Structure 1
Amino acid sequence: MTTYVLVPGFWLGAWAWDAVAADLRSRGHAVTAVELGHAPGDTAESHVDDVLAAIGPAGEPVMLVGHSGGGPICAAAAERARERVARLVFVDTGPLPDGVAQIDFTPPEVQERTRAEIEAHESGQPMPTRAEFDALGTSTAGLTDDVFADVYARSLVEPAGAVLTGVRRGTPDPTLPKTVVACSFTPEQVRPLIDAGAPGFAEMGGPEWSFVELPTGHWPMFSEPRRLAEVLRRSVRPTR
């Protein structure tokens, strides 16, 4: 039996993992889906604390899985609770360097738009519409209009502190297996960035990193939950 700790990305609650968690539990695995804080004062660092609380202080090491904005949070959490993490999985995402916020990893025009949305909403950033995601280049492939509408209706306002602040990174442990589940991009698109030492990609060049392709949009827990669960069950054994 494997214990999975599943961390959602921006705008999503623990419910985002319902279908994946049900599949894993039906096969005898233990699953904790993390509910990250969405109060106005929450930050990227407080989200790391949420993940550490879910991992707990004792027990068998877990497979820690982060989707999208949850990926950098999981990277920091794994460094602080290394003895409690057996594998780190990034679902259509990756780690970010020390102190780099999600907004810092986007083009200037997107940063300007995001800051304007946060200022207009005051407490954080609401989830973009499907048309807005398409304009931003964030793939919604695999989601029917009804599924996207349901996700959008249930979405949460992402706290400003989670968007505008980064996490404190430690030293990545090269003995900790790390896997990227590539959904809206391919490993071939990432490798030149790794080779160039681009921030957010450079550390993926270590021997502990592997890639699995799961072609779909950015939200495989909604578009391909059974296939994503299968990838996680297999403990991810792909080609580099």
Structure 2
Amino acid sequence: MTVFILVAGAFTGPHVWRDTAARLTAEGAEVHTVALTGLGGPLADGGGAVDLETHIADVLAVIDAAAEPGRGIVLVGHDYGIHPVLGAADRRARSIARIVYLDSGMPQDGVPAVAAVPDQLLREEVAERATGSGDGIPGGELHPPARDEWPRWGSTAGLSEAALDGLTALAAPQPLGTLLQPLRLTGAVAEVPATGVLCTANGPGVEMLQIMVDVGTPALAALAEARVTFFELPTGHWPMLSCPDALAGVLTEAASGGGHRLTPADAGRTPAHLRPFLLDVPERPRERTGNTDLHLPDGPGPHPAVVFVHGGPVPAEARPTPRDWPTLTGYARQVAGQGAVGVTLDHRLHAVTDYEQAAADVADAVERVRADPRVDADRVALWFFSGGGPITAEWLADPPVWLRCVAANYPILAPLPGWGLTGSRFHPVRALSRAGDLPVVLVRAGRESAEIAATVEEFVTEAARCGANLEIIDVPEGRHGFETLDPTEGAREAVHRAVGAVLARLKG
């Protein structure tokens, strides 16, 4: 018999699992929902501070009561709940058949749960609210979110009004010690089979994870191990409330070892971002200075220039670096063959917290390019890709007179729910109304991930509202990174159209 032990996330308790647990039970499984101390369970004897170790003990008690020969225990941790799940599984690794990470982070030894809180302002609030007790365990509580504050903790996509009302009404304060006490792991849990359930309205899906593994993100290498599988649910951060039956089905499949497996980066295949560009573009003379490459057209100039800004985050260790990736060099050669300087560069977007320094890198590179005598400093276009999209806000909000066009391929155009950058200035949707007549060329992938597609749709809606000068070029069958993933005739035509649109604005 499969035994599911379900551990809820911050501010919530066993009540959130009601419908999912009922479905699992109806299918013949045994289900236990853990009442964490202070979050549906009684406070500790003596009223002592509640910390992560308290919650680990809560989970251990349920494991020990359920563990019997022949029973496969599947531990499910949602959101914060993955921290006590991992702490308990590390101490009972031989009793656990599988761990399910339900739209959660990947906690590491020595790191407190507060590090996984998506909103930076919330992380700072937790630190400010912490008060040390006499024994060194932080005391106090973090008040649960008001009804309109839940998106700061995760996407509420898919939740009905009634579900959101219930989530708010039954929420409990989160003991600060549970967020601030570091998780301690011996390493035993690393051998337990694991499944990630990705809620794609709140974060990346399987395809995007594969791209991140291929790029070489060190923290994600373990996700491509044979013991790890994945499922996707097209919903927000609380699937047990938005799609409880679908979640129960996924958990049942996960328990039997089902799911998608990622391919290791060193599996002997060419990763998607290093496959050939979809156009056969002749090489051009190239000059490299610092973090910037110039792909040069014929003649002395001065020529207009197109600066191509890669996405990310890209780990600092990634080789080759983005300015040598086929997509960037392919576009740079394409525009150079048509009379414009094609510029590729490396910037330091290594994490979603790095947009400040990445934007500064881009601005510095643009000024160096404009100072080159072979470049017409009054005719420059900026072309952004993927996770470089938020940097467009810097140029949309106050476009200089020499900026003739901003282009963006499959861009992220508003901070994603899990980034914690809601109040950031790197929010192109909010900046667009100040762009005036600046031409914007948007290359939209028809098979984009749900979370990114939502930001693009928001941008298009805002463009219509404020009368922005927006041209959309659709690639209906294209995926994120279609230039190397989907070399179809339709995709090739879209690239030709996009390059033509940008160059027309530069040369007009």
TM over 0.5: yes
From the superposition, tell whether residues 73 and 191 of structure 1 become closer, same or farther in structure 2 (CA, over 3 Å).
farther
Q: Aligned ranges for residues 29-108 of structure 1 at < 5 Å?
A: 29-38=29-38, 39=43, 41-56=49-64, 58-59=67-68, 60-106=71-117, 108=120
Alignment partners' CA distance in 1, 2:207 and 2:185: 27
1:217 aligned residue: 236
**Aligned Cα root-mean-square deviation (Å):** 2.2
The structure with higher relative contact order (CA 8 Å, sep 6+) is 1
Residue aligning to 1:228? 247
1:17-76 deviation per Cα after TM superposition (whole angstroms, max 9, x unaligned): 111111111111111100011147111111111111001164123011111101122122
Does residue 182 (structure 1) correspond to residue 201 (structure 2)? The answer is no
Partner of 2:121: 109
Identity among equivalent positions (%) equals 32
CA distance in 1, matches of 2:129, 2:145: 10
Change (3 A) 1:103 1:192: farther
Correspondence 1:237 to 2:248: no
Indicate conservation of the 8 Å contact 1:118/1:125, yes or no: no
Gap change, CA 1:131 and 1:202, over 3 Å in 2? farther
Cα drift, residue 108 of structure 1: 4.4
Partners of 2:59 and 2:153 in 1: CA distance: 28
2:2 maps to a residue whose letter is T
Q: How far off is 1:89 after superposition?
A: 0.5
Q: Which piece of structure 1 moves more, 146-155 or 38-47? A: 38-47
Distance 2:147 2:226 in 1: 37
Q: 1:129 aligns with which of 146, 150, 156?
A: 146
Contact 2:13 2:36 in 1 (8 A): yes
Equivalent residue letter for 1:207: A
Deviations 1:62-103 (A, max 9, x none): 011111101122122111101211111110013311121121
Secondary structure in 2 matching 1:182:
strand
- If each structure's strand is expressed as a fraction of its own residues, which one has the higher value? 2
Quick check: 1:174–1:208 contact (8 Å CA) kept in 2? Answer: no
Paired residue for 2:225, among 195, 199, 206? Answer: 206
Displacement of 1:113: 2.6
SS at 1:28 equivalent? coil
**Structure 1 residue 153 corresponds to structure 2 residue 169:** yes
Q: Distance in 2 between matches of 1:166 and 1:21?
A: 30
The 3 A distance-change label for structure 1 pair 182 and 172 is farther
- In the alignment, the residues of structure 2 paired with residue 180 and residue 173 of structure 1 have an alpha-carbon distance, to the nearest angstrom, of 15
Residue 146 of structure 1 aligns with an amino acid whose one-letter code is: A
Matched position secondary structure for 1:188: helix
* Partner SS for 2:196: strand
Select between 164-173 and 228-237 the one with higher mean Cα deviation: 164-173
Cα distance, 1:205–1:83 mapped onto 2, change above 3 Å: same
Q: TM-score normalised to the size of structure 1?
A: 0.88
Structure 1 residue 227 displacement after superposition? 0.3
1:116 offset after TM fit, Å? 4.3
C-alpha deviation, 1:180, in angstroms = 0.3
Given that residues 86 and 189 in structure 2 are in contact (C-alpha distance below 8 angstroms), is that contact kept between their aligned partners in structure 1? no
Residues 89-138 of structure 1: per-residue CA shift (max 9 Å, x gap)? 1100133111211212346433213334667xx7211222343233x372
CA distance in 1, matches of 2:190, 2:55: 24
Kindly tell me the number of residue pairs found equivalent between the two proteins: 235
One of 147, 157, 165 as aligned partner of 2:181: 165
Output the TM-score relative to the length of structure 2: 0.44
Question: Is 2:5 the partner of 1:5?
Answer: yes
Which residue does 2:27 correspond to in 1? 27
SS at match of 1:69: helix
Distance 2:32 2:146 in 1: 28
